[in-house]
Amino acid sequence: MNAATKYISHQPDSQGYINYSEHEHALWQQLYQRQISNLPGKACDAYLQGIDALNMSVDRIPQLPDLDRVLTQTTGWKTAAVPALISFGKFFELLATKQFPVATFIRTKDEFDYLQEPDIFHEVFGHCPLLTNPAFANFSHLYGQLGLAASKEDRVFLARLYWFTVEFGLMQSKKGDLNIYGGGILSSPGETLYALSSEPERKPFDLLDVLRTPYRIDIMQPIYYVIEHIDFLNEVAKMDIMAQVQKAKSLGMFQPKFAAKSK
C-alpha cells in the first residue's frame, strides 16, 4: 500500500462531494456497463441486493456521501475518501472504525482491464454493495480491529485472509452453484469468468490453509477458497484468528502454485 502510484486522488469539498470531469464519468459508465452484465448468475445474492440498495448511477461516478446514507442506515458503515495508496496502519484503523477506504481516482483507459492499485470503480462497485450485508460488514469490522492491534509480521498473514475472502472469495449459492463475493473478482470481467471456469483450483475455506497460502496480485488466482454462505463470515469472525496466525507462522507457507514474478 506504500508503493509508488501515478494516480492522484481528488479532494472532496466541504460537503464530501467531488467535481469529476466528463471524461472520468465516461470511464465509469464504460466500466459499469461492461461489468454489470457479467454478474447475473455469478455474483452472490447479497452483492446483487447491495447493488439494488445503493442504486448507483450508471453514467456518473457515485458521490460518497450518497453511498454513506445507505451504508449507515443498513450496517452503520460509511466510506472514507483516501489518497491513491495508504499505509496498512491507516487501512486497519479505518476498518476498525467502520469506514471503508475509497481512493477517489478512476483508472485511465490504458489500464482499463487491470491496475494494481484499487481505484474508485474497484472500491465502490466491487466492495461497497456487500457492506450493506451485516455478516460481511461485521467481518470487515473485526478484521480491522485485529489488524490494528497486530504486529507488522502478523499483518502479512492477515493480508492473506483478506485476499482470499473480501478480495477473491467464492461461496456456494442456495442452489449449490458457485457464486462470487470477492470484490477483486466482481470488479474484473476477466476474473469473473475465470474464477467460475474449470481452470483454477477451488478448495473449501479453511482458516489455517488460507493463512498459509501465498498469492500474487498481478495474475489470475490459481486457487480460490469457498465459503458455505455469506453468513459463514460471522463464524470466521468468531474463530481465534490470531491463534491460527501463530500456528501458520510455525508451520510455514505452502508451496506457491504460481511462478515467481520476474524482475
Give binding residues for Fe cation as ranges: 122, 127, 167
Q: Which of 243, 175, 244 is nearest to 205 (CA)?
A: 244
Q: Is 229 part of the annotated catalytic residue set?
A: no
Catalytic annotation, pick one of 24, 127, 140, 188: 127
Query: Is residue 122 flagged as an active site residue?
Result: yes
> Within its chain, how far is the Cα of 138 from the centroid?
14
d(CA 35, CA 127): 14
| Strands 201-204, 170-172: pairing kind | unpaired
Decide if 7 contacts 92 (C-beta within 8 A). Answer: no
Task: Pick out the residues of the known binding site.
Answer: 122, 127, 167
Name the β-bridge partners of 204: 226
The DSSP 8-state label assigned to residue 240 in this structure reads -
With beta carbons less than 8 A apart as the criterion, state whether 261 and 216 touch: yes
Strand 99-103, strand 170-172: pairing: unpaired
**In the annotation, is 25 catalytic?**
no
> Active-site residue among 122, 123, 188, 191?
122
DSSP per residue, 189-207: HHHHHHHTSSSSEEEE--H
Please report, as a single letter, which amino acid is at residue 74.
T
β-bridge mates for residue 203, sequence order: 225
Q: What are phi and psi of 108, to 5 degrees?
A: -85, 165
Q: Is 211 helix (H, G, I), strand (E, B) or coil?
A: helix
Catalytic residue among 117, 187, 188, 191: 187
Distance CA 98, CA 103 (A): 16
In the residue annotation, 187 being an active-site residue is answered as yes
User: Residues 6 or more apart from 130 whose CB is under 8 A from it?
Assistant: 46, 47, 50, 136, 137, 181, 183
Q: Which of 123, 167, 188, 191 is flagged as catalytic?
A: 167
Any idea which residues carry the catalytic annotation?
122, 127, 167, 187
